[in-house]
Structure 1
Amino acid sequence: MNMTRDFAAIVLAAGKGTRMKSDLHKVLHPIAGRPMLDHLLATVDALQPAKKVVVVGAGRDQLENALAGSAETCLQEPQLGTGHAVQQAEESLADHSGDVLVLYGDVPFVKGETMQAMLDRLHAEDRPKVVVLGFEPDDPGHYGRVIADADGRIDKMVEFKDASEEERACRLCNSGVMAARSADMFELLRRVGNDNAQGEYYLVDIVNIANADGDSCAVVSADTPAEVTGINSRAELARAEAQWQELKREEAMTEGVTLTAPDTVFFSWDTDLAADVTVEPHVVFGPGVSVARGARIRAFSHLEGARVGEGCSVGPYARLRPGAVMEKDSFVGNFVEMKQATLGEGAKASHLTYLGDAEVGAGANIGAGTITCNYDGYFKHKTVIGERAFIGSNSALIAPVRIGTDAIVAAGSAVSRDVGDGDLRMVRGEQVVKPGWADRFHDAMKKKKAADRK
């Protein structure tokens, strides 16, 4: 989505978030593996803002570290209300003459289309001084009401406690998200007072001040109440996660992905599944996963930072860790773990295997119980397995080591030296057979046990 107008975003994130009962700043709590603040800023970035300013207070260091220069910050200290918070950004926007969009770090799901609609409404023919984002919840409860006509022109903004019965019957509520031209925003804020029970300066008051001046203000409605849901507690965070997951599942199925038990599959913010991928129950996608067309992710598998190629099969009970790459038609079965490893086209590791810091060639077969011993206690080392190599069950490949093309490693081998192309490597102790020894041992032990009981 491309902006046609110059705008700046102010994101309010100065609150302490005490209801979270956490040392982590409220807006840094993750939804789908991504801080809620980053969800919001990604939507803002898609509109190409001229500037982003995050208003910080409590947990300032955490926020500045998390932002890492991706947005400017300004400090609100002490915290004297939403209007006061927006005022703190005025200096940062001293050279900005365009529009200002005020958002909240704990309201992460406002759509880009909604933000755009607010900015467009600001420049409609009647040129309202302020545009408010409204919503209609199932239960309006104690939300402040937006009293507006059929064209969205606001007659009055009123808090629930101050509303008449007729006004309380209005279902259109105030989300707190607003847009105004920069000059108008800060001029109106300078006239906001704090003569209220909390002694705070409220952003919403700029609407009533503008109306009192004879100017018009307007409301734009969110598509759904979920778009403007605020997150203030762990329970609300869990509901937001569930809301996001539900939308992602629906999106995936719409795009041609089969989810055999949708409610049991969990996605990350950047999960990328192609059409005709099948995902069985109880699969978890961590950040950084892409799955190509026709692949199947079987039940109880966990993937993170992995790339799964076309036609591959994963699991059940498989774990793909960061750096795992499965090329076309490769296969990992139950209780196989991969990390920083590539499984070549058509290669397979069917069960009970660890592949770490490894490169497995096309068509290779990794037997059950095989492990790549990649860590010596100080450094990681690489294992390279050639095309069509066969690694027998219960083998330990002690890196750094190279197994050649078409080579065979016999079951139970501990391989610490390279194996040439087409060679067989068998590393086992000599088998010793003592006829009758076990029978004599059992007889002696039984007699001893019987004597101990007397």
Structure 2
Amino acid sequence: MTATRPLAVIILAAGQGTRMKSAKHKVLHPVAGRPMLLHLLSSIAELKPERQVVVVGAGREQVEAAVYGTGAVIAVQEQQLGTGHAVAQAHDALAGFAGDILILYGDVPLVRPETMRAMLDRLNQGDDMRAVVLGFRPEDAAAYGRIITSGQGVISKMVEYKDADANERAVTLCNSGLMAVRSTDLFVLLDQIGNDNAAGEYYLPDIVMLPGAQSAVIEAEAWEVAGVNSRVEQAVVEAAWQDRRRSEAMREGATLIAPETVFFAYDTVLGRDVLVEPNVVFGPGVTVADNVVIHAFSHLEGATIDTGAEIGPYARLRPGAKIGPNAKVGNFVEVKKAELGEGAKVNHLSYIGDANIGARANVGAGTITCNYDGFFKYRTEIGAGAFIGSNSALVAPVTIGDGAIVAAGSVVTKAVDADALCLVRPAQEAKPGWAARFRARMQARKAAK
């Protein structure tokens, strides 16, 4: 970034969001597992702004809670009188600020830091542009406001679609609404615009056309400035984000067998030579090291997977799962807040919660760690090289020593020493002929009815 001037950011989020049909504030609906507003604030953070203001209408409490700790403050637009009026509500929050101001939209979450920097660079290029507007060229210009230029990106006119004539509507360069302006100009210009238009609103773009100075436009890709006003548009933005992330993952060395069926979160990290089979979902907080295989229909969230591990198919890793090098979590296994050591195996139909599984331990099919008594959670410790037989219940808190063997079907409530055999079940007893006598008796009773 060539400019070194202080930066403030105004994020407009005062729209009613009625088309979302939701009690949740529009800008808090997620894309890739993260609220749209937090996507935007994360990108803004890379520019190290001095101040951040989020302008809201209804739903202030929700937004205030969401931005807590980010450094953003809230300004309220009591009446919805247009984008120009909304920006003006940030005046008090920016009192005493001298520098550049970026104006962004909370429902346009994917604008990149590089694009924001480019807007600021253009503003400070030295030719005294009043403002820099971010334009784009969508496949369908629909009802977007149009930008008419006179060459070298200098704007000769900006017009809202509803106020444009046929020739202006034929222009393909559209206004995203994002803008960079100097603090010394912004609020002075806002005081000069009127609302003599079809909607009777104060339009932010009108500051560009006020006499006295020129403004410039730079262009971004259409996906970067895609807005969300409905569940349908949210799904479109999500799909576009996922497509880009899948391509990025493959470019960086992961193999996706059926890319269109794999879904990433905003912070998913994949190493090289990771193989992801179809229908895998990554929730937030997943880090996968090199040479990991994730089989089909697995769901991962808040998990760390070390080199050479194998997950699934049909596995579920929940927050706090740590899968060690070359460990195996097999089909229909759920792991929560538990660590598997190097080479440990939980291959079939098991629940492992609040536990440590030692290196090379083997947990048999149908085993569960009974970690919850209805009030508190307790941990299970399984030592290195231990073998847990199928269909065992380990009632926490309990410790299984290194190299110990727990016989199949055991309900373990006490510690098991290293290298010991734990057998917790009644002796097997056979009663010759009992089954035949039982069937005959029951058939007679049925015939008598």
Would the TM-score normalized by the shorter structure come out above 0.5? yes
**Would you say 1:382 and 2:383 are equivalent positions?**
no
Q: Partners of 1:447 and 1:239 in 2: how far apart? A: 66
Show the 5 A alignment for 1:332-343.
332-343=329-340
Alignment partner, residue 59 of structure 1: 59
Q: Percent identity?
A: 61
- SS of match in other structure, 1:357: strand
Partner in structure 2 of residue 248 of structure 1:
245
Give the whole-Å Cα distance in 2 for the aligned partners of 1:191 and 1:54.
23
For 1:14 and 1:264, locate their aligned partners in 2 and report how far apart those are by CA, in whole Å: 35
Following superposition, the deviation at residue 451 of structure 1 comes to: 2.8
Quote the residue 1:402 is aligned against: 399
User: In the alignment, residue 423 of structure 1 is paired with which amino acid?
Assistant: A
Equivalent residues in 2 for 1:118-137, closer than 5 Å: 118-137=119-138
1:158 matched to which residue of 2? Answer: 159
2:180 maps to 1:176: no
Task: Give the root-mean-square deviation of aligned CA atoms.
Answer: 1.2
> 1:79 and 2:80 equivalent?
yes
Q: Which moved more, 1:134-143 or 1:378-387?
A: 134-143
Match of 2:148?
A: 147
Q: Counterpart of 2:429 in structure 1: which amino acid?
A: V
Q: Is the 8 A contact 2:162 2:198 kept in 1?
A: no
* Alignment pair present for 1:167 and 2:164: no
What does the per-residue CA deviation read over 1:189-219, in whole Å, with 9 as the maximum and x for residues that have no partner?
A: 011112223222110110111xx22x11111
Q: Displacement, 1:154?
A: 0.7
Letter in 1 for 2:66: A
Letter in 2 for 1:403: I
Partner in structure 2 of residue 302 of structure 1 = 299
**1:220 aligned partner:** 218
- 1:103 to 2:100 alignment: no
Secondary structure of 2:445's aligned partner: helix
In the alignment, structure 1 segments of 5+ residues that lack a partner are: none
User: Does 156-165 or 344-353 show the bigger shift?
Assistant: 156-165
2:31 is matched with which residue?
31
Q: Which amino acid aligns with 2:406?
A: V
Q: What is aligned with 1:46?
A: 46
Q: How does 1:435-450 map to 2 (within 5 A)?
A: 435-450=432-447
Q: Is the 8 A contact 1:268 1:285 kept in 2?
A: yes
Which residues of 2 match residues 288-367 of structure 1 at below 5 A?
288-367=285-364
| 1:287 equivalent in structure 2 | 284
Matched, 1:433 2:430: yes
Question: CA 1:80–1:103 in 2, change beyond 3 Å: closer, same or farther?
Answer: same
**Aligned 8 A contact 1:2 1:48 in 2:** no
1:357·1:383 contact (CA, 8 Å) conserved in 2?
yes
Secondary structure of the equivalent of 1:204? helix
Using the TM superposition, give the Cα deviation of residue 446 of structure 1 relative to its aligned residue in structure 2, in angstroms.
2.0
| Contact 1:3/1:47 (8 A) holds in 2 | no
The aligned residue for residue 19 of structure 2 is 19
Which range moves more in the overlay, 352-361 or 69-78?
Answer: 69-78
Tell me: CA distance 1:423–1:437, structure 2 relative to 1, closer, same or farther (3 Å).
same
Matched, 1:268 2:265: yes
**1:349-379 Cα distance to aligned partner (Å, 9 max, x none):** 1101111110010000000011111111111
CA contact (8 A) 2:3 2:124 kept: no
The corresponding residue for 1:68 is 68
Match of 1:237 in 2: 234
Match of 2:186 in 1: 185
1:245-304 CA-partner distances (Å, limit 9, x unpaired) = 111111111100100000101111111111111100000111110111000000000111
SS at match of 2:436: helix
Deviation at 1:3, TM superposition (A): 6.6
Tell me how far apart the structure 1 counterparts of residues 162 and 200 of structure 2 sit (CA, whole Å). 16
Deviation per CA, 1:109-150, whole angstroms, max 9, x where unpaired?
111111111111111131200111111112223322111122
- The question of whether the paired residues in 2 share the 8 Å contact of 1:310 and 1:327 is answered with yes
TM-score after normalising by structure 1 = 0.97
User: 2:55 is paired with a residue of what secondary structure?
Assistant: strand
Closer/same/farther in 2, CA of residues 59 and 436 from structure 1, 3 Å limit: same
Kindly state the Cα deviation for residue 340 of structure 1 after the two structures are TM-superposed. 0.7
Letter in 1 for 2:298: S
Partner of 1:187: helix, strand, or coil?
helix
Letter in structure 2 aligned against 1:374: N
Give the letter for the 1:73 counterpart: I
Q: State the shift of 1:158 in Å.
A: 1.8
Q: Structure 1: how far apart are the matches of 2:445 and 2:437?
A: 12
Answer yes or no: is the 8 Å Cα contact 1:3–1:48 preserved in 2: no
d(CA) in 1 for partners of 2:105 and 2:5? Answer: 21
Q: CA 1:56–1:162 in 2, change beyond 3 Å: closer, same or farther?
A: closer
Letter paired with 1:89: A
1:5 aligns with 2:5: yes
Deviation at 1:69, TM superposition (A): 4.0
Q: Aligned equivalents of 2:420 and 2:94: distance in 1?
A: 71
How many residues matched?
A: 448
Range 108-117 or range 154-163, more displaced: 154-163
Shift of 1:164: 3.7
> Alpha-carbon deviation of 1:2?
9.2
Three-state SS of the structure 1 residue aligned to 2:242 is: helix
Q: Name whichever of 171-180 and 430-439 sits farther off.
A: 430-439
Deviations 1:387-437 (A, max 9, x none): 000001111111111000110001111110000011001001122221111
Gaps of 5+ in 2: none
